[in-house]
Amino acid sequence: MHHAISPLDGRYAAKLKQHADYFSEKALMYYRCKLELLYVLALDKTALFETLNEQEKENIKDCIDNFSEADYQAIKEIERTTNHDIKACEVFLRTRIGLRNVHLLHFGLTSEDANNLAYTFMLQAYWKEVQLPQLEQLLEQLITLATQWKNIPFPTRTHGQKASPSTAGKEIAVFLNRLTKMYAALKTFQFAGKINGAVGNYSASLAAFPDFDWLHFSHAFLEAQDLEPNLATTQIEDHDRWATYFNWTRQINNIVLDLDVDCWLYISQGLFVESVQAGEVGSSTMPHKVNPINFENSEGNLMLSNSLLTLMSDKLCRSRMQRDLSDSTVKRNIGVALSHAYLAIAETTKGLKKLKINEDLCRKELEESPELLTEPIQTILKTVGVEDPYTLLKNVARGQKPTREMLLELVNKLDIPNATKQQIAALQTVNYVGDASRIADLVIVNAQKVLAR
């Protein structure tokens, strides 16, 4: 493994062991065989052929449940002769299953019937068994931080400049809210597929059995696999649904990337700090450093993932006429794109678990920024009819550093009710957070409901 070309199979291999079950060459061969065998079982129920005996059914079940390394190697050995991976699977299954009627295998199908469904089975399994659970872990960690920090005053920035205060929990809740919506959409996602022959018309199957409704049969087969049948296709499935899945995954990546960058910036400003890990080194020469490496690692992996996902969303929806092979090598990299996303989200979640908030610094920065009160002051002054209070406050505060006393002196000189002056005098930057805490609470409750569904 130390000679691996890709870091996915080298440096990061230990973190991606389970991914081989979905995206390796062996996994692809398994899902191709699984498709072929499920189709045989479906054909057996049509009464068009001699019924399978119990031993044949048991052999099919055993191959699906116990596909082995030896099975995979046997397919690869056959492929050396056939130079065709789908045909190699078919030839292998003839021996492995011991069917009396070997013609049940791949009956009326084209290679792309097996391929589109094999890849879709892979994606469907990964989506359900790995991707959604990982997102749930990220959401749970964001819920924890948003809950713990929902009442802690927090200095914000717009255009990199000081802006009206918020709470730390509400700022975390922004990302929780965005990811919850994407998770809820992704959780209801349904993949599509086709199993309709060489140019999508069931021509070979109808030639053999013209009175059988092959369209209805194939749609029922796909629906039994929790797939939406694609009614009209060329030789290949159009992969428009794959593109939707890749784009949704890419959008999740973008939200996480935004979170990574904000966490990095807050750490650089000292507002967030990271817990120290025993034995960890932040620099080869500067012993004091605690670097935000989890967020940086995540950022790089997300950019790699998004580059590939964008390519796949664009490329895999296009094919010359009925079929060309330019998509073949691209599809083989689906696991690369999703593995980089997995690594990234794992790093982000790990980084979030190390985060602490420097509450004292947050309060200190707000207390030393009375200019932030110009927004509420000018808004209150509007309610009592002061002419152009925005300009009044701008002249005192823009590009300057007004003190609290300067602002109150300006207000006290105005001909306004004493109650209004007292209302303004009571303003404190650390308390000027609006409905931030309630917003955080509502986001948290909604996220918990979505996760509980």
Alpha-carbon distances of 343 from 14, 253, 260, 276, 452, rounded to whole Å? 11, 11, 13, 21, 25
* Counts of helices then strands in the chain (DSSP H, E): 20, 6
159 is catalytic: yes
CB 179 within 8 A of CB 238: no
Q: Which of 305, 321, 325 is nearest to 313 (CA)?
A: 305
Amino acid occupying residue 416: I
Strand partners, 166: 154
Token pair 């389970």 is at which residue?
Answer: 18
Neighbours of 213 (CB within 10 A): 13
DSSP 235-262: SS---HHHHHHHHHHHHHHHHHHHHHHH
Token pair 């079982």 is at which residue?
Answer: 41
288 is catalytic: no
Residue 191, helix vs strand vs coil: coil
Tokens of 126: 């990964």
Contacts of 96 (CB under 8 A, 6+ apart): 59, 63, 71, 74
Tokens of 247: 């784009």
Alpha-carbon distances of 250 from 24, 312, 313, rounded to whole Å? 22, 11, 10
Burial of 310 (0-12, 13-18, 19+ CB in 10 A): middle
The active-site residue, picked from 6, 68, 268, 283, is 283
Neighbours of 321 (CB within 10 A): 8
Alpha-carbon distances of 55 from 68, 94, 104, 156, rounded to whole Å? 19, 14, 16, 69
Contacts of 40 (CB under 8 A, 6+ apart): 52, 60, 97, 99, 104, 105
The active-site residue, picked from 159, 275, 284, 288, is 159
CB 323 within 8 A of CB 235: yes
Q: Between helices 418-425 and 374-383, what is the axis angle to 10°?
A: 160
Token pair 């948290």 is at which residue?
Answer: 444
Q: Kindly tell me the sign of the dihedral angle through the C-alpha atoms of 162, 167, 168, 173.
A: negative
Catalytic residue numbers read 159, 283
